Amino acid sequence: MSRITIAPILLLAGVLAGIPLGVALSQAKPQLRVETLLERVVSGIPQPTSLRVHDDRWDPGAETTHHQHPGPVILAIIEGELVEVTAAGETILRAGQVHWRQANEMHNVKNLSAKPTRVLAIHFEPAQ
């Protein structure tokens, strides 16, 4: 019968146990990351203000027609793409972008893509 020494077995067991433990301990802790997407000094918000937050979902081809809002609006494009038409021209709003619209700005927004678009729209309007 061959004689097995215990030292190599203990060494192998230590290595096998230590590798997963070392990997687990070296993993970074979950973190919160904050990126400022829109920062503005605002003077045109009437007091008191009514705040509304919409989860807007646009089917391909959907369009608002020309309209305006009595207060400013922040649009955070979550997914997809929209085209906004104002007197200044066309602006493409893409996923990951945040867009500011001034109060009373006439505009038309449409989804010209073949995919749905989702937008978080934050409206600031005079309180009734």
Dig out the tokens for 29 from the structure.
């802790």
The structural domains of the chain, with segments of one domain joined by +, span 49-126
Contacts of 64 (CB under 8 A, 6+ apart): 107, 108, 109, 110
Question: Could you read off the pLDDT of 25-57 as tens digits, one per residue?
Answer: 677 777 767 778 778 787 777 688 889 999 999
Given this model, what pLDDT does residue 41 score? Answer: 80
Dig out the tokens for 26 from the structure.
């070296």
- CATH superfamily placement of domain 49-126: Jelly Rolls (2.60.120.10)
Given this model, what pLDDT does residue 104 score? Answer: 95
